[in-house]
Chain A
Amino acid sequence: MNKPLTRDELAKKVAADISPGSYVNLGIGQPTKVADYLRPEQNITLHTENGMLGMGPEAQDSQVDEDLINAGKIPVTETPGASYFHHADSFAMMRGGHLDVCVLGAFQVSARGDLANWSTGSPDSIPAVGGAMDLAVGAKAVFVMMSLFAKDGTAKIVPDLTYPVTGLGCVTRIYTDHGVFLLSGSGASSTLILHEAFGLPAEEIAARLDVEVQLDHKLGSSAEAHFQSPVQPV
């Protein structure tokens, strides 16, 4: 029996599933970790929505330049071949379908691929959206990284969002500590497929979700749920 994935293992898995040569935007928070596991030979170009392609690692000490920050306002570095552009261009390249992948955190994802990640809906919170809604609709593939279950044990893959919507039908894959889910189709005809299971038998994962889940035929029986080969990279 394997174990649930740690955050680093999950980041490594997401990184491995990104096709060589992709243009990628990593959201703030957990998705940022994916950058640590991208291999140089993948030749991934990172986009940051505040106006840069070719973003490098976080700046250290003397590298810190307050004019060179990422979307989380953390000082970063530039890589050879980097470019700068203004905000309208930055979001045009996102909205225009030029980015291959964006990786986002989430509070909830519905079985139809609806995403909630910008607001808890708490009445006393100060709302802030940033680029969340643009990222949700803007990339060719939208990967979500999150824990499968909330602290209270409820599943974060839900029939219908109870948190405020960020984007409808936009998520294509969900990477969680207990499994990788693929979404195919859209709207009422969409299907949610459990592609890999970690730490729990696939049937048990499916049973704990209040949504219809198809088990990938490669998953095998619950007794031998195991690491699968990566899904075809996008």
Chain B
Amino acid sequence: MRPESHHDGSLAVTVLVSVGRHPLTGRGRRADQDARGVELAHTLTGAEVELLHAGRLDEGSDAALRGYLGMGFESLSLLEQPAGADVLPALAEALEAAGPQLVIAGERAEQGEGSGLLPYLLAERLGWPLVSGLAAVEEVAGGVATLLQALPRGQRRRLQVRLPAIVTVDAAAPAPRQSAYGPARRGRLDVQAAPVMDDADMAEWQAQPARKRPKRLKIVKAASARDRFKAAAAKAEGGGGQVLTDVTPEEGAEAIFKLLKEEGVLR
């Protein structure tokens, strides 16, 4: 599985991994989207995959990060950062030094602000193109990657991007493999020193457990009782639709075809 020797045709891939949070128990785990990103990196042929994490190393994060090592890696580079630090400079410097062709990240973190901005800030700082919401990488050849982007409603879009590039992974990407216990224990966490910058803005915000959002009420703005009754007992009424009677099937089909074309649902 792991490419042992460095040869010229290989593709250097760095996956940014973070410590996730289980939605029910709240325990640390490998973040779902990041694990999908690691799985995506595994599917690339001839790729040399590196794992990179910026954050604290303590008991909870150790178990979570070893979850990634259990997906078939010998080591993970860890940039030591205190809690509440801005990891952007550390990651940017590490990526500049390593110079990978492709950087894969999840869309947003499962802890902290979780704004999903980090890949965009990295792309802006490094000057690389960014593609969000990936479902698959189809091909990497000649410094150009052909990607499959996941769109809402189960649709897919094919894109080509010049390398080096940063891509983020959607929940539509293939599910990650199970983490094996033995390799996870044997794997190394290479702790490296890195510049530290405090996140001053975030310290000013108040964080509290998410409140349930109020359900939107259906407000009927009617002047008279008749309008209110009509709104309450609403039934489909003729909304100015076009009705074609006494037409041949061909004419009817023509009209439908025109509408489908206009809406752009035919391909």
Are both chains from one complex? no
* Chain A residues within 8 Å of B, Cβ to Cβ: none
